[in-house]
Amino acid sequence: MSGLSYSELLNETILKLVQRNYWICQIAGWLGMVLIEVSNYTFFIAKRFIPELALSFFLQAVSGILIMHAYRWYLKRTGFSWQANSRIWIKAFIETVILACLQTIAANAIFVLQYGQPYMDQISLVDVVGNIYNWMRYIGVWVIIYFMYQILRQSNAIERAKILAEKNSKQVELELLKTQLNPHFLFNALNSIKALVIIDPEKSRNAIVQLSEILRFTLQYSREKTIPLEQELAEVEKYLSLEQLRFAGRLQVEIQPSTWVAQCTIPPAMLLTLAENAVKHGIGQLEEGGSITIYTTLQNNLLHIHIHNSGYYQPKEHTGIGLKQIRTRLEAIYGEQASLNIHNDNNKVLAELIIPQL
């Protein structure tokens, strides 16, 4: 077994595959040139098959492969940036002319080796220019295909890097939000227990037990993107039970269960934050206390969670970290598919959380 990692083995396999395909295309392309030129001379110019001429074109194909492979090596060594613009195609044209000149020299050298001085005596400047133009057709196709391949390859690499960077950025942002959530909830919960210690020390001990269970829950699921809704509801029930101790009968709680609740998922501590927000900013502002009702519906694979509580919603006053975190986390996980809407409804506040069930 080699010491290479999976990603290194994958990269090595891809590199070998690319190299193999490169040589297949190189050889097939130049053999195609031989077939075209031999057919052209056999059927339209000489009107007969000439073995020596076929050998000449085969040797020219070999020289073409060597020249174009050297050109590929040159491009790799220079660290050329494959960005699609007018300059790259000017470069491609100039280098195509240069390569066609080199191939013309190689082709004439092959003919000289085969036919000797008689060939040199009959060659003219017009013949040389014509040969350069003829080789530009073949080499130009090679250059265009190679340049297009490298441009697309670089564009795909940039796009993949961009997507990966965005994904990592959202993941880091999500983890940061989770680390902020625990202190935020702990601060508000401890304030509740502080008031309860003065009112009823015995009940405060029970409240501390419940708080420890809630904190264990938030810590346990801090690295999870989503958890079962029924687990979240169980912790919300503990939290509201803790608040009922503090409010001493001034807080009524109703959580309406659903038969399909176990099938749904929700980002951890999100409903807990909404329940806490309803108590702190809604019911906690009323001398007579109030009520909070939580019920859920499932429509077209979208989970709707409704938190209905006593109080009055004033958007300008609700700019705390809790609601901002919820909206940011929803966007990070679900994009535009999820939402949080809060508004006044029949002298109460209604918060509706919509989460797609993937």
Q: How many domains does the chain have?
A: 2
Q: What's the pLDDT band for 173 if we cut at 50, 70, 90?
A: low
Boundary (domain end) residue, out of 164, 180, 196 = 164
In this prediction, residue 1 carries a pLDDT of 44
Are 224 and 139 found together in one domain?
no
Q: Flag whether pLDDT at 215 surpasses 80.
A: no
- Residue 324: partners with Cβ closer than 8 Å, 6 or more residues away: none
Q: What is the CATH number of the domain that holds 191?
A: 3.30.565.10
Task: Give one DSSP letter per residue of 76-114, joined into a string.
Answer: HHTT-----SHHHHHHHHHHHHHHHHHHHHHHHHHHHHH
Q: Which two tokens stand for residue 12?
A: 């090595």
- Chain centroid to CA 265: 23
- Greater confidence, 187 or 142? 142
In this prediction, residue 100 carries a pLDDT of 96
51-54's contacts with Cβ under 8 Å and 24+ in sequence apart are: 52/114
What's the Rg (C-alpha) of the chain?
Answer: 37
Instruction: Return the amino acid letter for 43.
Output: F
DSSP 8-class letter at 335: G
Residue-number span of the structural domain to which 26 is assigned: 6-164
Are 82 and 189 found together in one domain?
no
The CA distance from 347 to 330, in Å, is 28
Q: Flag whether pLDDT at 24 surpasses 60.
A: yes
The CA distance from 100 to 135, in Å, is 5
The CA distance from 222 to 260, in Å, is 25
In this prediction, residue 142 carries a pLDDT of 94
Q: Flag whether pLDDT at 66 surpasses 50.
A: yes
Residue 1 lies in a domain: no
Boundary (domain end) residue, out of 129, 164, 199 = 164
0.85 cut: is pTM over it? Answer: no
Are 195 and 304 found together in one domain?
yes
Task: Give one DSSP letter per residue of 273-294, joined into a string.
Answer: HHHHHHHHHTGGG-TT-EEEEE
Nearest alpha carbon to residue 351 among 291, 280, 289, 271: 271
Boundary (domain end) residue, out of 106, 129, 164 = 164
Are 189 and 332 found together in one domain?
yes
Rounded to the nearest integer, the mean pLDDT of the chain is 84
Are 215 and 302 found together in one domain?
yes
Residues 247-291 pLDDT 10s: 778 899 999 878 777 789 998 888 988 998 898 888 988 989 899
Residue 70's CB is within 10 A of a number of other CB atoms, namely 11
Residue 323 lies in a domain: yes
